[in-house]
Structure 1
Amino acid sequence: MSITTAAAAPGIRTGQWRLERVELINWGTFQGHHGLDISRKGFLLTGHSGSGKSSLVDAVSAVLTPRGKLHFNAAAQDTSARGEDRTIVSYIRGAWRRSADDETGEVRAEYLRTGATFSGILLRYSDGTGAKPVLLLKLYHLRRGSNTPADVSELSILLQEDAKLTDFVDYLRNGIETRRIKSNWPAAFATDKHSAFASRFCRVLGISGENAVLLLHKTQSAKSLGSLDDLFRQFMLDRPKTFDMADTAVAQFGELSEAHRLVVEAREQVEHLRGMEEPAVAFRLNSGRAAEAAALSSALPSFKDEWKLKLSVEAKAAAESAVLTAQHDFELAASVTAELEEAHSAAAGKWTAMAGRRCATSRLRWTWLRNAKALSWGARRVGFKVGSGRHYLPRQLQRVRGTSGRGPHRTQWPGCRPGGQQAGHQ
Structure 2
Amino acid sequence: MTEGLFSSVELGGPAQGAGFRLQYVEVLNWGTFDRQVWRLTPGTETALLTGDIGSGKSTLVDAVTTLLMPAHKIAYNKAAGAEVKERTLRSYVEGHYKSERQESTGRSRAKGLRQNRNTYSVILGVFGNGGYDETVTLAQVFQQRDTVGQPYRFYVTATKQLTIATDFADFGSDLRDLRKRLRSGGAEVVDEFPKYSTSMRRLLGIRSEQALELLHQTVSMKSVGNLNEFVRGHMLEPSDASERVRDIISHFDDLTKAFDAVKRAREQLEALEPIVATSRKYDAALAERDELDLQRAAVRLFIAEHRSGLLAGEIVTYTAEGESLLRRQDEATARQRDLARERESLIEERARAG
Taking CA–CA contacts closer than 8 Å with sequence separation of 6 or more, which of the two structures ends up with the larger relative contact order?
A: 2
- CA-CA distance at 1:182 after TM superposition: 4.1
Deviations 1:3-29 (A, max 9, x none): xxxxxxxxx951211111000000000
Deviations 1:294-337 (A, max 9, x none): xxxxxxxxxxxxxxxxxxxxxxxxxxxxxxxxxxxxxxxxxxxx
Instruction: Tell me how far apart the structure 1 counterparts of residues 172 and 75 of structure 2 sit (CA, whole Å).
Output: 25
Aligned residues of 1:23 and 1:122 also touching (Cα < 8 A): yes
Deviations 1:69-117 (A, max 9, x none): 22212234xx544x52211111010000112123322111000000112
Aligned residues of 1:95 and 1:111 also touching (Cα < 8 A): yes
Instruction: Tell me how far apart the structure 2 counterparts of residues 242 and 96 of structure 1 sit (CA, whole Å).
Output: 47
Instruction: Tell me how far apart the structure 2 counterparts of residues 56 and 14 of structure 1 sit (CA, whole Å).
Output: 25
Deviations 1:31-64 (A, max 9, x none): 1210111133211122232211110111011111
- Give the corresponding residue for 1:210: 209
Residues 158 and 105 (structure 1), Cα distance of their counterparts in 2 relative to 1, 3 Å cut: same
Q: How many residues align?
A: 228
**Root-mean-square deviation (CA), in Å?**
2.6
- Give the corresponding residue for 2:93: 92
Q: 1:18 aligns with which of 21, 27, 33?
A: 21
Amino acid at match of 2:123: I
Instruction: Tell me how far apart the structure 2 counterparts of residues 172 and 219 of structure 1 sit (CA, whole Å).
Output: 40
TM-score for both structures, normalised by structure 2:
0.59
Instruction: Tell me how far apart the structure 2 counterparts of residues 243 and 172 of structure 1 sit (CA, whole Å).
Output: 55
Residues 56 and 20 (structure 1), Cα distance of their counterparts in 2 relative to 1, 3 Å cut: same
Query: Residues 141-290 of structure 1 correspond to what in structure 2 (within 5 A)?
Result: 141-143=143-145, 145-149=146-150, 152-166=151-165, 167-171=167-171, 173-177=173-177, 179-185=179-185, 187-239=186-238, 241=240
Q: Is 2:33 aligned against 1:30?
A: yes
- CA-CA distance at 1:130 after TM superposition: 7.6
Amino acid at match of 1:69: K
Q: Is 2:104 aligned against 1:103?
A: yes
- Give the corresponding residue for 1:394: none
Instruction: Tell me how far apart the structure 1 counterparts of residues 164 and 104 of structure 2 sit (CA, whole Å).
Output: 42
Residues 129 and 88 (structure 1), Cα distance of their counterparts in 2 relative to 1, 3 Å cut: same
Query: Residues 234-383 of structure 1 correspond to what in structure 2 (within 5 A)?
Result: 234-239=233-238, 241=240
- Give the corresponding residue for 2:77: 73
- Give the corresponding residue for 1:397: none
2:154 aligned counterpart, secondary structure: strand
Deviations 1:137-156 (A, max 9, x none): 1111222x53311xx22111
- Give the corresponding residue for 1:138: 140
Residues 177 and 243 (structure 1), Cα distance of their counterparts in 2 relative to 1, 3 Å cut: farther
Instruction: Tell me how far apart the structure 1 counterparts of residues 110 and 239 of structure 2 sit (CA, whole Å).
Output: 40
- CA-CA distance at 1:205 after TM superposition: 1.1
Query: Residues 120-139 of structure 1 correspond to what in structure 2 (within 5 A)?
Result: 120-129=122-131, 131-139=133-141
- CA-CA distance at 1:181 after TM superposition: 2.4
Residues 207 and 183 (structure 1), Cα distance of their counterparts in 2 relative to 1, 3 Å cut: closer
- CA-CA distance at 1:176 after TM superposition: 4.2
Aligned residues of 2:179 and 2:189 also touching (Cα < 8 A): no
- Give the corresponding residue for 2:68: 64
Stretch of structure 1 that moved more, 218-227 or 171-180: 171-180
Aligned residues of 2:155 and 2:193 also touching (Cα < 8 A): yes
Instruction: Tell me how far apart the structure 2 counterparts of residues 20 and 219 of structure 1 sit (CA, whole Å).
Output: 20
Aligned residues of 2:141 and 2:153 also touching (Cα < 8 A): yes
1:235 aligned counterpart, secondary structure: helix
Q: Is 2:75 aligned against 1:42?
A: no
- CA-CA distance at 1:174 after TM superposition: 2.9
- CA-CA distance at 1:233 after TM superposition: 3.1
Amino acid at match of 2:87: R
Instruction: Tell me how far apart the structure 1 counterparts of residues 233 and 49 of structure 2 sit (CA, whole Å).
Output: 24
Q: Identity rate of aligned residues, in percent? A: 32
Aligned residues of 1:89 and 1:147 also touching (Cα < 8 A): no
Aligned residues of 2:138 and 2:158 also touching (Cα < 8 A): yes
2:49 aligned counterpart, secondary structure: strand
